[in-house]
Amino acid sequence: MIIRIGKYFATKNLVPGQRVYDEKLIKRKGAEYRVWEPRRSKLAAALMNGMKVPFATDWLVLYLGVASGTTASHLSDIIAQGMIFGVDFAPRVLREFVLLSKTRRNLVPIFADANKPELYRCLVPEVDFLYQDVAQPNQAEILIKNAEMYLKKGGLAFVAVKARSIDVTRKPKEVFKEFKEEIGKHFKIIDEKRLEPYERDHLAILAEKK
């Protein structure tokens, strides 16, 4: 469950008493909520800037670039009856996500390179939602390959497009335009939001698989 507390969003804590990244815990009507810090989460930043994402509590989610699990922990709160498969190839941050998964029943850590989605074929089923937050020049290619293999038709994808990671020499608007054209054969773009003032030169895209 997501609610608005003051100027920020917050999610109902799946593990009462647990803080994942020193976020504030607030009690409302007998339940505990975790304040969702938009400077620590691209999804929270997109929501703050007006993006609407139709979350379902039983979704299966493939999360590319899960890192230590800041955003994934909030998805864990929202998708309490579902499962989140978190992929990352950086051992240090994934260790933190592994520890987090021991306290949250709906998180599954996967140590793998999102460039090679076939490597986790035996671990990930068809999913309802694909989340991508990776700093790679071939971000669009990674999204398409994973969506073709795992995302169901009509499933949603959220991607944080990082202009400076794709091409630091070009204007972000040009990078964003090319990215949307590249994924256009595979996705229908539902919404897009720049992430300033929370992130510089980032564009959040919500898209539906064709």
Task: Sort 158 into a burial class: Cβ within 10 Å, 0-12 / 13-18 / 19+.
Answer: buried
pLDDT per residue rounded down to tens, the chain (210 residues): 899 999 999 999 999 999 999 999 999 989 999 999 999 999 999 999 999 999 999 999 999 999 999 999 999 999 999 999 999 999 999 999 999 999 999 999 999 999 999 999 999 999 999 999 998 999 999 999 999 999 999 999 999 999 999 988 999 999 999 999 999 999 999 999 999 999 999 999 999 999
| Highest CATH level, class, for 38-209 | alpha beta
Q: How far is CA 46 from CA 81, 82, 122, in A?
A: 24, 22, 32
pTM of structure:
0.96
Domain boundaries in the chain? 38-209
Predicted confidence at residue 19, as pLDDT, reads: 97
Predicted confidence at residue 1, as pLDDT, reads: 86
Predicted confidence at residue 10, as pLDDT, reads: 98
Sequence-ordered strand ranges (E) for 89-150: 107-111, 127-132
